Each structure stands twice: as structure tokens, then as C-alpha cells.
Chains A and B, each alone.
Chain A
Amino acid sequence: MSYTRALRCRKCGQEYPVQPLNLCDFCLSPLEVSYDYKAMARVLSREKLAEGPLSMWRYRDMLPVEGKEVDIGTGFTPLVKADRLGEELGLDELYIKNDCLNPTYSFKDRPVSVAVTKAQEFGFDTIACASTGNLAASVAAHAAKANMKACVFVPSGVEPGKLVGIAIYNPILVTVDGSYDDVNRLCARLVERYNWGFININLRPYYAEGSKTLGYEVAEQLGWRAPDCVVAPAASGLSFTRIWQGLNELSMLGLIELVNTHMYLTQAAGSSPIVNAFEAGSLHVHPVEPDTIAKSIAIGNPADGYYALRVARQSGGGACAVTDEELIAGMKLLAQTEGIFAEAAGGVVIAGLKRLVASGVIKRNELTVAFITGAGPRTQDIVSDLVQPFAVQPSLESFEEVLGARV
């Protein structure tokens, strides 16, 4: 049994029974899961959590699920001490949370695992989503594991190479001929017509909760403490808010000290509505038309932008946008110092971190965790210019002639 109490409106506080629903009937604001933390605190301890499986499901008691989890082996990814990168940037205690190492190569496996578990509980036989890559792959993989149907919608402009990582799990793969906005509108209508569990619509309150495990894991891996600084990417802003929530829940449950973490969100300059609002001192996140190579975080109208903005402000953190050139440099720097090949969103995080340290916002002695949320190979074409091999004949002479003093 879980400690889920109800769904609650994040704006007006109106409560609803646990069901597939994402918007408040009154003010049309997003709903979130609320828990009985007192009861949860009575059963949870560091020792009990440490006895759990080495996956995100060790935190099952803190997630809104009742039935058997749909688990493809997600979570408890490495938290790597990044000494070489830290030296390069000017940080003594830098860690990388390497969430590339989830089964479908991105952090999306965390929220999707919770959402698909809930979809099964609610009796859906089909799960659906709209995505350009990472989310669709994760949904299709979890559907396969759960023996459910998956229907994934992809804008027709998405590169064919990306579709392979989705198609392998055999979902119903639909390319939609239109802009991202057209796909958004189509999906909003589909959810009204079909009795599907739509991952980021009617299952969104549960989907959101999976990302809290990023915060839980980092605190546990640091020896039950919160970092001084977190640097993470923001697309819809949802995972950024949930890392923060995860840390604060641990504190509320008495598992770590009071959280004094500064939360910094990073976006690509070509799609930075949250950063724009932060810099303008505005409370409203004004939608933009995305134009960046960091496709996995190119969201022009972020559903949780307002809440992500609030976390950055309340935590004494900040927001930082980087150019496409900077993010590519960030990808290379991470790979060439720590051996981690991140997708473009990871490059955004590293480039943003570099700026935050260079400008003195993050101090040398602050324990900082950079979240790398997706792996590079799915979008490797953006750094394909790196491939410049030395061509030699199969002889020592040729090798030494071509390589010369390089070896």
C-alpha cells in the first residue's frame, strides 16, 4: 500500500480522488499527488531504504503506486566524482549524476515507470505519448514489459535515426504531418476521445513523481545530505521541480538535514522561456518558438515553467541559457574529461555550469551536482564533425609516416 492521499490542485488546493486526471476542474491548473507524510515518516528510515533494491524502486514507499511496479531496471545510476572536469571548471567537489545509464538511455525511464505502473492500476490497455525521442522510447519499452499497447506520436520532422530507438519496442508509431503545435493540439483532442493512459496528460501527476527519485538518490549517494548546488536542464520544468521536491521530502521525513541547496536551471538559448522570465523578473513564462539543436529540451511553452521558476528563486538559485556552440563545447568537455557521452541537454548543463562558476555564482568549495539526463548516441549527428580519423596502410611505415610525432 502507498501513502498517497489524493490529487491536489497546485494553485487553488482543491482535492480530487486518485484517478487519471491532470487539471483542476475549477481553475484548470495542474494537479499533483499529495501524501500522508506523517504515516510515511513512521515507517521510513535510512536503514530501511538502504535494504531496498538497487533501483529507483527502493523508494517505492514514497511513490504513488499500489500494484506491482512496471520496472525495466531503472535508477540508482552512478553519482560520479568529477575531479578532472571540476579542475577544468574550478570546483573542488563536483559530481555528475549520470542518468544516461538508464535502460532507454535517459531519465525518462523514472517518470514513465511510475506512470505505466499507474496506467495498469487504472485498467488502461493502451498508453500513449507525444515525443521527439527519449520519452517515446521509454514509453514503448515499458509498454513492452507490461504487455500493454503503446501509441506514440512523433512530429514528422524528426530524424529517421531517432525513430529506430522507438520502433525496436514495436509500439504503434505515428508521425504527424504538422508543426509541434499541431501535434500538441491533436494530442489534447485524442485524450478526450480515446480511453488511453496518456503519459504526459491524464497520467501527468503520477509521471511527475518518478523524477523525485533523482533527488532521493543523489542525497543517499552523498551519504544522506543535500548538495550545496544543483545544476539541471529544464524543458517542461517538471523534473527540475521534482529534484527539489525529492530533497525537501527527505528533509521533511527526517532523513536528511534542512535543505539549503541552490537550484540552477539551464536551457538552450534558442528555447529558453524559463530563463527569459527569470532574467526579466517576471512570474509569467512567455511561450517562445524553439530554435536549437538541443531538441530533447526544446519546449516553447513549458507546462511547469512557472513552478520551475519559483524553485530557482525560492532556493536562491538561478537560471542560465547557453548557445548551441557552447552546448557542443560542453558535450565535448564532459566526454573528454569524464568519459561521459551526453546528449545535447547534458552539454547545456555543463556549459551552464561553466558560466555559473566563471561568473562566481557557484563557488569553488560548494558541493555541486550536475544532472546529465540523457545519453549522446541518440543524437550523435550533432557532433559528427569530430570524426576525422587518420587513414593508414596496414604497415608500420605508413603508420609512422602519417602519425609522425603524435605518438
Chain B
Amino acid sequence: MAKRQVMFTFPQELIKEPIIYTLSHQFKVVTNIRRADISEDKGWVVLELEGEDEEIERGISWVIGKGVRVDPVTGDIVEG
């Protein structure tokens, strides 16, 4: 089992969608929210994903496909 810490940033049109709920139902991924800030026009959630590596990857690809930005919780790692 692997763990991945990520940040989801939601565009306004997806804020009402149960993306995290669906992620944990469609894929064998346990979602564990640690921090979040959601308002009517934007939202971000910092969470840990736990599951098999490939399942996490598939889950993240699905979330990105829905239009959510997914970043490592560390922020960008590539620097100048």
C-alpha cells in the first residue's frame, strides 16, 4: 500500500460536485482530508490518498480528467 499527499484545486464549476466521494467509490483509494478551504467561487483540499500505487495513479488521472488541478502538497518541486 502506498500513500500520496496531494492538493486538489477546484475550479468554480466543480465546487458542488462530490469529486472526493466519487474518487473513493470508483477506485480503491482511501481519501483522508487534512486541510481545506472552500468558498462559493473557489476551493482547495489537502488530502492523503492511500491504496495500491496504480490505483492511486488511476484515481488521480480521473480527478485531473474531471478538470481539477492536482499538485504535490509540497508545491512545485522543480525550481530555477
Contact = CB atoms under 8 A, between A and B. Distances in A.
Interface of A: 11, 22-23, 26-30, 108, 129-135, 153, 155, 180-181, 183-185, 187-189, 192, 200-201, 204, 235-236, 284, 286-287, 295-305, 345, 374
A132 B77 contact: no
B75 interface: yes
A300 B9 CA distance: 13
A398 B72 CA distance: 62
B74 A300 contact: no
B66 interface: no
B74 A302 contact: no
B25 interface: no
A192 B77 CA distance: 14
A184 B77 contact: yes
Contacts of B16: none
B24 interface: no
B52 interface: no
Interface string B38-59: 0000101010100000000000
Contacts of B75: 236, 299, 301-305
B13 interface: no
Given A299-B76, A299-B79, 12 more contacts: A29-B35, A130-B79, A131-B79, A183-B78, A184-B78, A187-B77, A284-B42, A296-B80, A297-B80, A301-B75, A303-B75, A303-B76
A301 B42 contact: no
30 contacts: A11-B35, A22-B74, A23-B73, A23-B74, A27-B35, A27-B46, A28-B34, A28-B48, A130-B78, A132-B78, A132-B79, A132-B80, A135-B79, A180-B78, A184-B71, A184-B78, A185-B72, A187-B72, A188-B72, A188-B77, A236-B79, A287-B69, A296-B80, A299-B75, A299-B78, A299-B79, A301-B71, A303-B74, A305-B75, A345-B80
A298 B76 CA distance: 10
B16 to A, nearest CB: 19
Given A184-B71, A284-B37, A23 B76 contact: no
B-side interface size class: 20 to 34
Contacts of B46: 27-28
B80 A134 contact: yes
Please report whether the interface of chain B is mostly helix, strand, loop or mixed according to DSSP. Answer: strand
B80 A131 contact: yes
Contacts of B2: 192
A30 B42 CA distance: 23
B31 interface: no
B69 to A, nearest CB: 6
For the complex of A and B, 5 pairs with smallest distance between CB atoms: A303-B75, A296-B80, A188-B72, A187-B77, A130-B78
Contacts of B9: 286-287
A298 B80 CA distance: 7
Nearest to B39: A284
Contacts of A345: 80
A30 B73 CA distance: 9
B46 to A, nearest CB: 5
B79 A184 contact: no
A131 B48 CA distance: 26
B71 A28 contact: no
Nearest to B80: A296
Interface centre among B37, B44, B73, B78 (most CB of A within 10 A): B78
Nearest to A295: B80
Contacts of A11: 35
Contacts of B5: 23, 28
A177 B59 CA distance: 22
Nearest to B5: A28
A305 B74 CA distance: 11
Contacts of A297: 80
A183 B71 CA distance: 11
